[in-house]
Amino acid sequence: MNQDSAFLLSDDRFKSILQSPRVAAHLLNDDGTYPNNGKLPLMVYQGAMLLPEASRATVFEALFGANQWGSSWRDGVYGYHHYHSTAHEVLGVYGGTAQVQFGGEHRVVLSVNAGDVVVIPAGVAHKNLGASRGFRVVGAYPLGQQWDLCYGDPDERPRADQNIAHVPLPVADPVYGTDGPLIEHWSEQN
């Protein structure tokens, strides 16, 4: 674990919010429109954090940053299918609930709630199908990775496929550091 992660996770303020989440992994293959990622599964940590209302976004930003996921932003999830071919992405839900579809039409639909974390491998399409009024996420990317925005247009490929194949693995799980579920699941696949 990097020094910042070790400090953050040993700090009593953060220990009290880190939970043992229900971890789900979804391997989503190319559907003909969206490349998805046949090697790295979508990771969902349901109930990863019990967050104090006033500091939810700030806590996600600090935790992701300490675990070497940066370029964070606050917003929601677009209401159309899109994916990133040049970066993996993490979403930390800090407010409300939403139904988010991953992998394209007729693929996985998940309910995400405040305290959940979703790690989206490069290439995996995602779309907000409907959300509560207060739905908000903090998003971030592994340090050194620059995101792009792809929509599933035929002219994006094969360049998007080449990009996805060359996106490096992150050095740490965005929540749990070097020993987290992401590292375990993604190292097995590579």
Helix axes of 3-10 and 56-66: crossing angle, nearest 10 degrees: 140
Identify the three-state secondary structure at position 61.
helix
pLDDT value for 152: 96
Identify the three-state secondary structure at position 118.
strand
pLDDT value for 14: 53
Helices (H) and strands (E) in the chain, counts: 5, 9
pLDDT value for 19: 60
Task: Compute how many other C-beta atoms are within 10 angstroms of the C-beta atom of residue 56.
Answer: 20
Q: Residues 164-183: what's their mean pLDDT?
A: 93
Q: Looking at domain 3-189, does it have CATH number 3.90.1150.10?
A: no
The pTM (predicted TM-score) of the whole model is 0.90
The whole-angstrom separation of Cα 123 and Cα 177 is 23
For the range 13-17, what are the long-range contacts, defined as Cβ-Cβ under 8 Å and sequence gap of 24 or more?
A: 14/59, 14/63, 16/50, 17/49, 17/50, 17/51, 17/52, 17/59
pLDDT tens digit string along 33-87? 999 999 999 999 998 887 666 678 998 999 999 899 999 999 999 999 999 999 9
Whether 111 and 99 have beta carbons less than 8 Å apart is answered as yes
